[in-house]
Structure 1
Amino acid sequence: MEPSGVSDEKRPTVDMVKDKNGTDQILLQNPKGASVKISLHGGQVLSWKTDKGDELLFTSAKANSKPPHPVRGGIPICFPQFGTRGSLEQHGFARNKIWLVEENPPALSSFDSIDKAYVDLVLKSYDEDTTRIWPHSFEFHLRVSLALDGNLTLISRVRNINSKPFSFSIAYHTYFSISDISEVRVEGLETLDYLDNLFEKERFTEQGDALTFESEVDRVYLNSRDVVAVFDHEKKRTFLIKKEGLPDVVVWNPWDKKAKALTDMGDEEYKHMLCVDGAAIEKPINLKPGEEWTGKLNLSLILST
C-alpha cells in the first residue's frame, strides 16, 4: 500500500483514519502536502486537496455520510449501472457497499512509482444481498493514486468470474467544486451527440463551441475525446479530465428546482458544483467468463494567472 525507496522527508504517506460514523477512510498525502481521502464505504473519493489545502471536490453540507446512504459529493462509483433500470437501485450498488483494502493486488504494469501515494481496494460479489439483485460473480479492483504533481488517478478493473457472460455500465460521478455555475464552461464536447435525460433520453447534437450553464443540465455525451476541460473563470483554474476505456461523458447540474427537491443538498449549493463524469453508458461493457475490463480516469488542475 505504501511506496518504498524514498527518503522519509519525501515519502508519500498512506494512513487509515475514521470519519464521525466510524467508517474507515484512507488518507493519501504526497510530499508537497496535497491529499486525497477515500472512504471504504463505496470506495468513494471524498476529498482532493491541493498542496495549499484548496478543496477541489464538492460535497454537500447536507450530505448523509452514514452507511448505507451514498454521500452527495466527491466521486461516487456508479456500477453496474448508471441511472435506473430493472430491480437495481439508482446508479447501482457499488457506491453503497463496504470495500476492502487489497494488500496483494494484481500487478499494474508501468504504473507503480515511488512518487505516488496509492491504495488498492476491492469489491467482490460474495454477499447474498448483492447476488440477489445482480446474480453475477465479479471482482472490482480499484486503485486510487495521488501523484507528486497533485494529479488524481482512478484505475478500475472489473473481472468476470462467472460461468456466463454479463454486461455493465459505469460512471465516475465526479462532483467538481466551482466558484459559480454561471462562470464555468466545458470544452471537448463540441459536435458530439448526446442523450438528454430531461427529454426522455432523446438524442441531440451539441451545437456550441463550449458548454455553459443557464438551467438544469443532465446529459450523456457519446464517444467523446479522451480529454475534456472544465474552465472556472472566477477561480482562474481548469480541471482536465483524461480518460481511457470510458467513451462517454455525463454532465449534470440540478439547478434550483431539482436542488430544492434533494434532501441531501442545500437549496443554493447547485451554484458551486458541476458533475462531469468519465463513463461507459450507451454501449454496456460485455465480459465473457474470465475476461477483464480496465478503465482509467486522470484528473489534473491547471492554474492560470
Structure 2
Amino acid sequence: MGHPAVNLDKNSDFEVVKDWNGIDQIVLKVPSGASVRVSLHGGQVVSWRNEKGEELLFTSSKAIFKPPKAMRGGIPICFPQFGNCGSLEQHGFARNRIWSIENDPPPLNTNSKFGSGKATINLLLKPTDDNLKSWPHCFEFRLRICLFMDGHLSMTSRVRNVNGKPFSFSFAYHTYLSVSDISEVRIEGLETLDYLDNLSQRERFTEQGDAITFESEVDRVYVGSPTVIAVLDHEKKRTFLIRKEGLPDTVVWNPWEKKSRSMLDLGDEEYKQMLCVDAAAIEKPITLKPNEEWTGRLELSSVLSTCCHDHLD
C-alpha cells in the first residue's frame, strides 16, 4: 500500500496494475464500491464505475490499446490542440504519451462541490525531444484525478509555461459517456448558444432547440457555455452532470452510422451507446506568458434523472 504518489483517505483503497502492454494503470477505489482506472498511457481515465459497479464511460469493443495510438473511449486529454491541423497529430500529443506519477506536486487550491474524502492520483507530462520538434515550447502539465466518496470524479489540469516566450494552445477533456441509446438522450444547458459546426467548415450557428437531441451525426463546439451541463439518459433514468471551470466551450460529438463504419476502432453500431460531451477551450486558444499557469477543471457526477434539476440551479 505504500505507493508514494497516490494520496488516499484512510477509508479508500487503490492498486497499481499492468495492462497487456505492460503499462501501469492506477485503480482508485472508495468504500461505496465506486472506482476509477487511470492509464499512464495518455494520463487517460479508462474506466469510471459507480457504487453498483456499472461502467459510466464508453470504450469501443474495437479500441486499439497499443501506444502510440490513443484508446477510443474513456477520457482522453486533448493538448495542445483539439482537432487536426498543422504538424501535430490529431488532438495533440498528450493522449499518446506515457505520463509519470508525481510524488510531491505543488499545492492546488480546489473548492469541490462534492465534499471531502477522496482517492487522488497526480500525474505529470513534460515535453520530449520529438514534441519539441513539432511544438517547440517547454511546459509542465500536471493532472490531478480524484474519486470522491460519493463516486463523483474530478480532473484538474494545470499547464505552466517554462518557456522563454509566450505560447498558445487549445484543450479538451474528450469525455466518452456510456448511454443506453443515443436517440433517447438529450443535453440541457446549451440552449440558445452559438456553436461552430465542424460538419459545415466551422460555420457559426445559434442553437434553436429547447434541448439537444440526436437524429444524425453531430460535431459542434458550443462557445461560451455555462459551468454546469446535464446529459439525460431517459432509458437508464440517469443524468450526467458536467461541471467545468477555466473551460469556456463544450464539444458535442456523435459520429452516427456512416462515419462509424469508416472508423477502424469503432464498431459499426456502437455510436448508439456513446456520446462525447467535452469540457474544452477551443474557440479562443489559451495564451501563457513565461512562468504563467492555466488551470482547467472537470467534475463529473451521475445522478437519478429525477434529481438533476436541483443541480442545474
Mapped to 2, the partners of 1:178 and 1:222 lie a distance apart of 24
1:5, CA displacement in angstroms?
A: 6.5
1:150, CA displacement in angstroms?
A: 0.6
Task: Show the 5 A alignment for 1:249-268.
Answer: 249-268=250-269
Task: Show the 5 A alignment for 1:153-302.
Answer: 153-302=154-303
Sort the Cα spacing of 1:103 and 1:194 in 2 relative to 1 into closer, same or farther, 3 A: same
Is the 2:116–2:148 contact (alpha carbons within 8 Å) kept by the matching residues of 1?
no
Encode CA deviations 1:4-41: one digit per residue, 9 max, x unaligned. 663xxxx2123211111211111000121100001000
Is the 2:39–2:46 contact (alpha carbons within 8 Å) kept by the matching residues of 1?
yes
**Counterpart amino acid of 2:144?**
R
Encode CA deviations 1:53-72: one digit per residue, 9 max, x unaligned. 00000000000001111000
Is the 1:14–1:118 contact (alpha carbons within 8 Å) kept by the matching residues of 2?
no
Task: Show the 5 A alignment for 1:92-103.
Answer: 92-103=92-103
1:120, CA displacement in angstroms?
A: 0.2
Is the 1:47–1:74 contact (alpha carbons within 8 Å) kept by the matching residues of 2?
yes
1:108, CA displacement in angstroms?
A: 1.4
Q: Which residue of 2 aligns with 1:43?
A: 43
Q: Which residue of 2 aligns with 1:72?
A: 72
Mapped to 2, the partners of 1:209 and 1:40 lie a distance apart of 40
Mapped to 2, the partners of 1:274 and 1:114 lie a distance apart of 30
Is the 1:248–1:282 contact (alpha carbons within 8 Å) kept by the matching residues of 2?
yes
**Unaligned 5+ runs, structure 1:** none
When structure 1 is superposed on structure 2, of 174-183 and 106-115 the one drifting more is: 106-115
Mapped to 2, the partners of 1:114 and 1:142 lie a distance apart of 19
Q: Which residue of 2 aligns with 1:18?
A: 18
**Counterpart amino acid of 1:166?**
F
The two structures, once aligned, show a CA RMSD in angstroms of: 1.3
Is the 2:8–2:118 contact (alpha carbons within 8 Å) kept by the matching residues of 1?
no
Is the 2:176–2:277 contact (alpha carbons within 8 Å) kept by the matching residues of 1?
yes
Indicate the SS of the match to 1:158: strand
**Counterpart amino acid of 1:120?**
N
**Counterpart amino acid of 2:126?**
K
1:114, CA displacement in angstroms?
A: 6.3
Mapped to 2, the partners of 1:48 and 1:40 lie a distance apart of 16
**Counterpart amino acid of 1:242?**
R
Indicate the SS of the match to 1:149: coil
Sort the Cα spacing of 1:189 and 1:110 in 2 relative to 1 into closer, same or farther, 3 A: closer
Is the 2:6–2:122 contact (alpha carbons within 8 Å) kept by the matching residues of 1?
no
Sort the Cα spacing of 1:60 and 1:110 in 2 relative to 1 into closer, same or farther, 3 A: closer
Sort the Cα spacing of 1:263 and 1:5 in 2 relative to 1 into closer, same or farther, 3 A: closer
Alignment TM-score, normalising by the size of structure 1: 0.96
Alignment TM-score, normalising by the size of structure 2: 0.94
Mapped to 2, the partners of 1:221 and 1:93 lie a distance apart of 24
1:2, CA displacement in angstroms?
A: 4.0
**Counterpart amino acid of 1:34?**
A
Sort the Cα spacing of 1:300 and 1:114 in 2 relative to 1 into closer, same or farther, 3 A: closer
Is the 2:8–2:119 contact (alpha carbons within 8 Å) kept by the matching residues of 1?
no
Identity %: 67
Task: Show the 5 A alignment for 1:47-126.
Answer: 47-109=47-109, 115-125=117-127
Mapped to 2, the partners of 1:217 and 1:4 lie a distance apart of 39
Q: Which residue of 2 aligns with 1:31?
A: 31
Mapped to 2, the partners of 1:5 and 1:27 lie a distance apart of 14
Encode CA deviations 1:244-285: one digit per residue, 9 max, x unaligned. 000000000000000000000000000000000000000000
1:110, CA displacement in angstroms?
A: 5.0
Indicate the SS of the match to 2:301: strand
Is the 2:171–2:280 contact (alpha carbons within 8 Å) kept by the matching residues of 1?
yes
